[in-house]
Amino acid sequence: MHVLSGCLIVAAGLFMLVCGRRKSDFVVYRLMAARSKILWGENVHRFYQIVGVIVRFSSNAIAPPLPVVQETALILSPGTFSFLGTFSFLESERRVD
């Protein structure tokens, strides 16, 4: 769930950054900018650029980046097929001492 919320926050930050940079005519951005223009005046687009960067980078505090999967996650060796231990029971069934 943290990954989903982190991705949504990153998307919101990038949305504000890009729309503020381009002074977009997108309906959602126009509504947000109209409300913020009361306080920020003509600097409303600069405000959304700065806020977009802050929101985008603060999302790492909420949802840290995904861990890197090790290269040895898929191990194929003679007589053994194991993907993160999922099929380890096959190896135990084959061994007959």
Residue with the bigger pLDDT between 1 and 21: it is 21
pLDDT of residue 81: 45
Is pLDDT at 34 greater than 60 in this prediction? yes
pLDDT of residue 80: 45
Is pLDDT at 82 greater than 50 in this prediction? no
pLDDT of residue 3: 73
Instruction: Quickly state the pLDDT bin for 57 (edges 50, 70, 90).
Output: confident
User: Which amino acid makes up residue 18?
Assistant: V
**CA geometry: angle at 89 spanning 86 and 91, to 5°?**
110
Produce one character per residue of 28-40: b if its CB has 16 or more CB atoms within 10 Å, e if not: ebeebbeebeeee
Quick check: 74 and 18 in contact, CB under 8 A? no
pLDDT of residue 17: 93
pLDDT of residue 5: 80
